[in-house]
Amino acid sequence: MAQQIVQLQLSGMRCAACANTIEKALKKTPSVKLAQVNYANEKATIRGEHLEAAVLIKAIEQAGYQAQLIDIEHQEDNRQDLQRIQLYKFIAAAILSLPLLYSMIGHFSWTRELPIPAVLMNAWVQMALATPVQFIIGWQFYRGSYYALKNLSANMDVLVALGTSAAYFYSVWLTFKFGAMAAHDGLYFETSAVLITLILLGKWFEARAKGHTSEAIRKLLKLQPQQALRESANGQTQLVSVKELQQGDIVQIKPGQQVPVDGVIVEGQSAVDESMLTGESMPVEKSVNDKVVGATFNKNGFLRVRATHLGEEAALARIVRVVEQAQGSKAPIQRLADKVSGVFVPVVVVIAMITFLLWWLWFTPGDIGRSLETMVAVLVIACPCALGLATPTSIMAGSGRAAEAGILFKKADTLELTQSLTTIVFDKTGTLTQGKPALTDFLLAEEYEKSVIAGIVIAIESKSEHPLAQAIVDGLKPQNTLNVLVENFTALSGHGVMGNAEVNGKTSQIRLGTKKLMLDHDIDMGDWQTQQQQLEKQGKTAMLIAVDQRVIGLLAVADTIRDTAKSAINALKKRGLQVIMLTGDNQLTADAIALELGIDKVIAEVLPEHKADKIRELRQQGQVVAMVGDGINDAPALAEADVGIAMGSGTDVAIETADIALMRADLNTVATAIQLSHLTVRNIRQNLFWAFGYNSLGIPIAAAGLLAPWLAGAAMAFSSLSVVLNALRLQRVKNINQP
């Protein structure tokens, strides 16, 4: 049974440790094979068999968090609602904390002369202001701590709850012991209240910034058309919701309108702007039998389109799904951060306790207030939020920017691995070339009529699925005046085709294919072999025609090179990459095209089933290999490569098998994908360096008593925000489509 994939929208997470807790809870659920939680976009991706959303949601709720099935149409509204609630909490906390913050001025000897209202120095008043912040607004930290400890883990909530509670309850004890005039220097109500306020402010900023990392998804969703002009059986039209359309419905699209559905043109001709999906700025000319994609724009002609793919099967929906899955997956580089965050909080608690004891027993003997302040600063500045955000925010921003450029990374590990490639292997037909070959030569021995042989070749090639077969059929049709019956048709993979047909009054065996096919069957090639070689030197694919045991002619087909192929090859070679052509075509033809493109190494005359073997050999030599292809016969090689790259113009099989899908037939996007991978990995390393460096420096500074708790809270908020803002720089990368 195929694995199911369920994605859930989460809420209530406040650090990377929360994500680990949810993952553990999900993995304990029967039938769950894999669970990945992305702290940055607050989504869980669960893989398994017989998955039930209700059971998964219950497991998450028991862990102390909230979850729901992703509602694409309303997920942005839900995110904004949560941000709004967080903002309201901050405002309420700020109103109560500002008077306490002002009273904090009295802590410093050089500020004692500043006017501070006596009421603010009253211990009972300070407790009245701090208590709602601590237990009503800050209840989320206690709740989070309870569930974290219940699940035998520790998260940011534990640190915040410990730190603020220590400051709050110590101040309460002093207030009850000394009354309203308790020594101001000994009270820390402002510390607990201001800390919670600053953390809430940081979380609000963080939530807003994280929202921008999903900008690519939102842009794609906004492209979804809502209405379509549907034809009825009697020719009348009706404006209906796109959701009401069914497969086979005919829709009309006027100039300037958005294409509402994936389909095939049944009438009309127009230029279609596909830039929002492919990144290609130039409109594409479309006519009858051409495919159109929903969300693109019809520029200047009237079109009638038959709907073929709807709902979740539509191209836009599939693109959104691929991007979301990539953003929800984890890169290998994140494993280190996950391991660290899993043990970080308990280690910090131990460090904080040691810090308290050292100050109480050694640095300031008997001064519990000073010892407490230092401990609280350590607890707060050590919150591992930045560490949890370092990798996923970069992955989200990088994959989103790639999607805008028409490049779909399917998994985060692909996004990380691509920058390490050493070798790029290109298929020839349909990848380096247009994949639309045309018949250029048809030569026969004098004793044979072209109309007769053309009819036989058409009859044989019509049964073949080879990419060149249709080109041969189309090229010979003007010369064919006969209908020929072919029996015992056989396709010889990588070599050619054969069958029985009547020639000059008798039934003969016809073979059409490579020189190897002729040699394998001991067929006399005569001088035709020389002519074949001459045509192949011109970059043409030449096939011999044999009647029984004698070659009686040949066919030649040529394919045009893609406009972007040469510039793409040059760009890749400038990056120091080895470029290889891998093709089933003959050596001479392949060499001719390789010479024109500047490709140094050619592996030709490879059967489809052996292409994967060639990729495997390169990997065994220590190369990190990407395979770029478009056809069904490329699928095994795409799967075998470290990174499989499928042309968007290729088959669905190739696109599904590949790790990267290029939405437009521009080979320059291969170099762009590598560039974006490099930029994303560099961004991740910057974030991890900052996150580790922040905690490595911040904890000793706080333990040394050089950092007030409120300042530690502000620094913690800034660290998380800086990581997210650094990741967002990836969305502003310019000129990535330049060769």
What span, in angstroms and rounded, lies between the C-alpha atoms of 608 and 146? 59
Residue with tokens 């999900």: 26
- What is the Cα 446 distance to its own chain's centre? 60
> Which structure tokens are listed for 357?
């004891």
Q: Strand order in 423-427's β-sheet?
A: 407-409, 660-662, 643-647, 625-629, 423-427, 578-582, 601-603
Q: Which of 87, 7, 6 is nearest to 41 (CA)?
A: 7
> Which structure tokens are listed for 588?
């001479």
DSSP 366: T
Burial of 306 from C-beta contacts in 10 A (0-12 / 13-18 / 19+): middle
Dihedral through CA 579, CA 583, CA 585, CA 588, nearest 10? 20
The residues, ordered by sequence, that sit 6+ positions from 640 with a Cβ below 8 Å of its Cβ are: 612, 615, 616, 619, 627
What is the Rg, in whole angstroms, of the alpha carbon atoms belonging to the chain? 34
* Helix (H), strand (E) at residue 414: helix 412-417
The residues, ordered by sequence, that sit 6+ positions from 458 with a Cβ below 8 Å of its Cβ are: 472, 473, 476, 477, 480, 484
What span, in angstroms and rounded, lies between the C-alpha atoms of 216 and 209? 14
Coil vs helix vs strand at 40: coil
666 is catalytic: no
Sign of CA dihedral 513, 518, 521, 526: positive
Beta strand 496-503 with 487-492 is: antiparallel
DSSP string, 323-350: HHHHHHS--TTHHHHHHHHHHHHHHHHH
Coil vs helix vs strand at 481: coil
CB 11, CB 66: distance < 8 Å: yes
Q: Pick the catalytic residue: 157, 427, 585, 630?
A: 427
Burial code of 635-657, b = ≥16 C-beta within 10 A, e = fewer?
bbbbebbbbbbbbbbbbeebbeb
What share of residues in the chain are helix, strand, coil (percent, to 5)?
55, 20, 25
What span, in angstroms and rounded, lies between the C-alpha atoms of 212 and 46? 24
Coil vs helix vs strand at 9: strand
Q: How far is CA 176 from CA 101, 120, 135, 172, 505, in A?
A: 22, 17, 19, 6, 118
**Residue 351: count of CB within 10 angstroms of its CB:** 18
What span, in angstroms and rounded, lies between the C-alpha atoms of 225 and 295? 6
Catalytic residue numbers? 427
